[in-house]
């Protein structure tokens, strides 16, 4: 017989089920295994919204099309890291331009359609970053911009995208950077409470910068760093940054005084001293391991997830075989410590491919060093 007690029990069960359905999903206390697996190997789309005005880099070369995204997936990459310049997205008051949010959403959907995880990385100008440290209003508006971005990308779930709060903060004060990141995270969490956030250390996000950072209170965070050691090798010939790098070329890896000697004959007087010093440092696999070790130690100490979001070597003034040896050693060392990695980058100065869209030429020595899948002929 259906009694009053049975009716009350049934109503209580229905109410409990309804409350359970309405209750928001628990906020993760650590990055999911799905996201961590996706971060194991990836590639940077370094110039997407950034630096479109550089004369030496043309959109047809660096902007990926559908064929590029298919190639990235075919090679075995699991994620792409996409740069986002707020100056492209929004005006001086950080109000998004008409249509730019839609364009961003459309472009990222193309990546998602290829089965690739996305890391969306905020990469503003140096002046923008310095202002974050000195102007509370700009910091508040930047946090609101992140909220707007995440709201626009509401169809991208936690297993589709992660948000990297600020690339290379450039601010030297680690405590100040932590404050900036905490404020940006608070804005983003209003629209993305369950997504993984990516955080870097102060200055230029090198290993030595990461280990100065006190982790955020938020636990659903992956901490990232960049690795370009030794920069006299990886940055030889670059047309930006420290002017001396532009004067270096053909430096070998591994290095020794004997190995660098042939390259000295083709260098300017100013560069020879730095080239010889690079040789005397004797950079090799063991020295790379020593340079990387503090990052993994820091992550173990704090019990946090770690990811190398940039590593690579400039390709135009570096011999392919030396570049390949450096890439191979660095990749193997990262993997040995369980650290996911993202090559810098796809088609730019440090690129894996050359040539314009539809005519890409894969750097096979670099691809082999990264143990990528063989692309179709």
Q: Residue 50: its pLDDT value, please?
A: 64
pLDDT at 2 over 60: no
Instruction: Encode pLDDT of 232-247 as tens digits.
Output: 999 999 998 899 999 9
Q: How far is CA 217 from the centre of its chain?
A: 21
Please report which residue ranges of 284-363 form alpha helices under DSSP H: 285-302, 320-336
Q: How far is it, in rounded angstroms, from Cα 190 to Cα 111?
A: 25
- Nearest Cα neighbor of 229 from 312, 315, 296, 349 is 312
Indicate yes or no: pTM above 0.85: yes
pLDDT tens track for 160-189? 999 999 999 999 999 999 999 999 999 999
Domains annotated for the chain, with CATH where assigned, are 30-229+283-369 (3.20.20.80)
Mean of pLDDT values over 59-79 = 88
Cβ neighbors of 55 (< 8 A, separation 6 or more) are none
Query: Which residues fall within 8 angstroms of residue 338, CB to CB, at 6 or more apart?
Result: none
Give the whole-number percent of the chain exceeding pLDDT 90: 82
Question: Does residue 18 carry a pLDDT above 60?
Answer: no
Q: What is the pLDDT of residue 356?
A: 84
CA distance 300 to 256: 33
Could you give the CA distance from residue 149 to residue 167 in angstroms, rounded to a whole number?
16
Span 115-144, average pLDDT: 97
pLDDT tens-digit readout, 327-344:
999 999 999 999 999 999
- Is the pLDDT at 99 greater than 90? The verdict is yes
Instruction: Please give the pLDDT value at position 48.
Output: 66
**Contact indicator for 48, 85 with CB cutoff of 8 Å:** no
Q: Check residue 16 and give its pLDDT.
A: 39
């Amino acid at each position: 017989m259906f009694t009053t007690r049975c009716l009350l029990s049934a109503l209580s069960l229905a109410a409990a089920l309804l409350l359970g359905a309405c209750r928001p999903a628990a906020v993760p206390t650590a990055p999911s295994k799905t996201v961590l697996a996706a971060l194991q190997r990836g590639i940077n789309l370094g110039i997407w919204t950034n630096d479109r005005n550089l004369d030496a880099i043309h959109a047809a070369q660096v902007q990926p099309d559908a064929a590029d995204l298919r190639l990235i997936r075919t090679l075995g990459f699991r994620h792409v890291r996409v740069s986002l310049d707020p100056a492209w997205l929004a005006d001086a008051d950080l109000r998004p331009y008409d249509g730019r949010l839609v364009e961003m959403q459309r472009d990222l959907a193309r990546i998602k359609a290829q089965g690739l995880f996305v890391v969306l990385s905020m990469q503003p100008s140096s002046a923008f970053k310095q202002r974050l440290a000195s102007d509370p209003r700009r910091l508040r508006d930047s946090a609101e911009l992140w909220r707007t971005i995440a709201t626009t990308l509401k169809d991208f779930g936690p297993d589709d995208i992660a948000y990297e709060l600020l690339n290379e903060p450039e601010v030297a004060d680690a405590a100040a950077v932590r404050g900036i990141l905490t404020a940006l995270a608070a804005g983003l969490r209003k629209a993305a409470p369950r997504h993984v956030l990516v955080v870097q250390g102060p200055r230029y996000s090198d290993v030595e910068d990461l280990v100065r950072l006190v982790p955020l209170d938020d636990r659903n965070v992956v901490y990232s760093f960049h690795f370009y050691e030794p920069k006299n090798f990886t940055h030889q010939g670059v047309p930006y940054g420290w002017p001396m790098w532009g004067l270096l070329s053909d430096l070998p890896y591994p290095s020794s005084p004997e190995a660098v000697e042939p390259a000295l004959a083709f260098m300017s007087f100013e560069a020879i001293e730095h080239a010889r010093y690079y040789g005397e440092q004797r950079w090799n696999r063991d020295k790379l391991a020593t340079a990387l070790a503090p990052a993994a130690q820091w992550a173990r100490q704090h019990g946090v997830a770690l990811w190398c979001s940039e590593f690579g070597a400039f390709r135009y003034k570096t011999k392919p075989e030396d570049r390949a040896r450096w890439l191979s050693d660095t990749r193997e060392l990262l993997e040995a410590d369980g650290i996911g990695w993202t090559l810098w980058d796809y088609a730019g100065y440090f690129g894996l491919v050359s040539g314009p869209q539809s005519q890409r030429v894969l750097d096979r020595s670099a691809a082999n060093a990264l143990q990528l899948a063989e692309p179709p002929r």
